[in-house]
Amino acid sequence: MRNFVTILSLSFVWLIMLVLAVTVGSTPVSVSEILAVFLGKTDQAALAHVVISIRMPRAITATLAGAALGVAGLQMQTLLRNPLADPYVLGVTSGASLGVALVVLVSGGFTFGVFGASTGFVGSITVVLSATLGALVILIPTLIIASYLRNAGTVLIFGLMVGYAVSAFVTVLVAGASPDQLQRWTAWGFGSFSAVSWSDLPVFLSTICCGLGVAAISIKQLNATLLGEDYARSMGVNTRLTRLATMGSASLMAGAVTAYCGPIAFLGVAVPHLARAVTRTSDHAILVPVSALLGAQFALVAQLASLAPGQMGILPINAVTALVGAPIVIFVILRSRRGIAW
Amino acid sequence: MQLRGVSVGYKSRRSTSLVLSDLNLDLNGGEVTILLGANGGGKSTLLRTLARSQPPLFGRIEIEGRDIARLPQVDLAKNVGLVLTDKLSLGAMTALELVELGRYPYTNWAGSLTKHDEFIARQALDLVGAAHLATRSVDEMSDGERQRVTVARALAQQPKILVLDEPTAFLDVTARAELLTTLRNLARTTSMAVVLSCHDLDLALRTADVIWLLNRRGDLDVGAPEDLIENGTIGAVFSSPLVAFSAADRTVVARNPLLGTACVIGPEPRIRLASTLLQREGFAPSFDRELDGIQVVMSEQGWKLTVGDHEQHGTSYEELGRSIRFVTSTTAGTENA
């Protein structure tokens, strides 16, 4: 009952943030103006453009990316029984980085003419495709091997090693890149929720919903996996299928977010801890929705905070997630009596 | 549960390492079976094989005539409950929530609990004497409390066979005895078969209905504790150059170099305690008054130690021990001279 109230109030907070994300910006828009835009009663075409084409998709993207990373992080932490696990442990982001690095750093001249300066570069169709391909090339063999490894600890180390190995290739590419290519590579690494347009949203939305759906129907298995895979198996869990479905859906979500928004850091590790601290439960029936809601809020807060410099420009999302998030997580951990709420 | 021609061990692509081979064993409902043996002998491997955590290399394991290799995972969970040594780290999970997880094979896809499931979970906590722990967080419990709750979780699966790998490992003496007593009572009241491995020889021999003893030939001796004590197999496994199995003590005791015989006289239970003290100091206690040499007379007030024509009195056993050690060191000194 208490947790139901938590979920309800978190949903309410999320709605408020969604409204804030649309109203706040370099040109503030009032709630009544937004309503006017929706009802088609405004004559300000520029205002309608800002709300419909820029801020709405940006707010929706932040919501989806935050929810996805929060839930994927929770799935990985539970499956691997490691409080520092995140959605990227299987090397999916390294794979995506490699894909993007190949496009940006090797064949950079090709995209330069099409997309011009670094603005609007993240999330361009070339980048999304290369990130997705890179992620899949790494993910599929990793998933197959990981599902046959003896225990979760081995999976964690295996994933980390794959990540390092792939990052090594990226480092080699970076070493040979021109300053111009490097700048755009770095811009991709900052992360951004601004690059997803209405036409991208259906694919992004359905991918994330698939991932969230798998998480939702495997709540029972996740709860049993809290005891470790040996116990889970003895309780009747098909641990191989659970591992495959959990790693698959978490990596799918992480891959989609990386492809469309760049490598969004920190959210995946931090949000599950916040969810446990807020709800004081280990029950995934509560933790999955709460992680999704908190993740969405976290991403929206980061998005709003990234606008802080005003006319001066915007802050990189990754700088904001860590700057805003690290103090919150440290506070939560220090406040809870037993240290990390795990 | 019946094991027919079962061999356990590990198989890799290149080699097969056989740990125990050609086992023919039965686990009977209502009985406690305790697996004894040295570390590294394959106790865990055998228990893991019983719970199908790993497949047998050869042979069949059957539950009520059905090969467990063919049981779906959920059906297996309804037949075999497992308790491992892993220390669980469960965050905010309460004891009742942990036990309710044991209803996994019976609940629907969402894991929602029916009234019946809740009743069984409560009952499982009750059976291990942990009803009062229901709302406590598992992470904040003592090792003994946590182990009881872990057993309750396995009970909530309502298994026909309960397999426990060293359930007493982290427990203190009292908690160990309590847990084994609880398990024996459970076996009797629920007619479940309980099988566990244990390092506490004395406790195991007092609790078990059947002992599976891993001997040094890599084979299992099976029988009631008394059978295995009588035919000397326990002694053969647990004795070493330094210690010997003592049937009277049901445990291994140090092999002290025998210095001689000492006569002990006095009322129970003081005479018994004085005897153990003499044994520790290397003297075989005897109740024969006519013996020369060391004589200890126990009374309600204290003790009297007579060596030849030298006599000494005292009250505590500590003093008695010190006096005997003084005597043995001086005699050893004269002998050397």
Chain A contacts in chain B segment 188-247 (CB below 8 A): none
* DSSP-based three-state secondary structure for B264: strand
Residue position matching structure tokens 């009977």? B28
Residue A173 parent element (H or E): helix A152-175
**Which of A231, A237, A243, A283 is the best residue to mutate to test the B interface, defined by the most B CB atoms within 10 Å of its own CB?**
A231
Q: What is the C-alpha to C-alpha distance for residues B199 and B313, in angstroms, rounded to an integer? A: 41
Task: Please give the class, per CATH, of domain A2-337.
Answer: mainly alpha
Closest residue on chain B to A279 (Cα): B92
Which of A72, A255, A91, A85 lies closest to A158, judged by CA?
Answer: A91
Q: Compute the distance between CA of residue A250 and CA of residue A239 in angstroms, rounded to an integer.
A: 16
**What's residue A312's pLDDT?**
64
Instruction: Report CA-CA distances (Å) from A161 to A94, A158, B20, B21, B93.
Output: 11, 5, 36, 39, 32
With CB atoms and an 8 Å threshold, state whether B88 touches A228.
Answer: yes
For B49, the closest chain A residue by CA position comes to A234
Identify the sign of the CA torsion B187, B201, B85, B141. positive
Contact state of A220 with B77 under an 8 Å Cβ cutoff: no
pLDDT at B214: 92
pLDDT for residue A108: 52
- List the Cα angle B329/B333/B334 in 5-degree steps: 125
Cβ <8 Å between A237 and B111: no
Q: Is B77 part of the contact surface with chain A (CB cutoff 8 Å)?
A: yes
Residue that the structure tokens 């600890």 belong to: A153
Per-residue pLDDT of chain A (342 residues; tens, 9 = 90+): 778 899 999 999 999 999 999 888 878 888 888 888 888 777 788 888 888 888 999 999 999 999 999 999 999 999 988 888 888 888 888 898 898 888 888 765 444 433 334 444 555 778 888 888 888 888 888 888 888 887 777 888 888 888 889 889 999 988 888 888 888 888 888 888 988 888 889 989 999 999 999 999 999 999 999 999 899 999 999 998 999 999 999 988 998 999 889 899 889 989 998 998 888 889 999 999 999 999 999 999 999 988 877 666 678 898 888 887 788 778 766 766 554 444
Phi, psi of A337 (to 5 degrees): -60, -40
- The chain B residue lying nearest A283, using CA atoms, is B93
What is the pLDDT at residue A218? Answer: 95
ipTM value greater than 0.95: no
Q: pTM for this one?
A: 0.87
Residues of chain A neighbouring B73 (CB-CB closer than 8 A): 233, 236-238
**Element holding B324 (H helix, E strand):** helix B317-336
Confidence of residue B26 (pLDDT cuts 50, 70, 90): very high
Position B135, amino acid:
T
**A227 to chain B: closest CA residue:** B88
Structural domain boundaries of chain A?
A: 2-337
User: Based on the number of CB atoms within 10 Å of its own CB, is B12 exposed (0-12), middle (13-18) or buried (19 or more)?
Assistant: exposed
Reply yes or no on whether the pLDDT at B231 is more than 50. yes
Report residue B110's pLDDT band, with 50, 70 and 90 as the boundaries. Answer: confident
Q: DSSP label at A199?
A: T
Taking the CA of residue B157 and the nearest CA in chain A, the distance in Å comes to: 7
Residue in A223, A230, A281 nearest the CB of B84: A230
Compute the distance between CA of residue A73 and CA of residue A75 in angstroms, rounded to an integer: 5
Where do the DSSP E strands lie in chain B?
Answer: 2-11, 16-26, 32-36, 58-63, 66-67, 80-83, 161-164, 193-197, 210-214, 220-223, 243-246, 251-254, 260-265, 283-286, 294-298, 303-307, 310-314
CB distance A181 to A110 below 8 Å: no
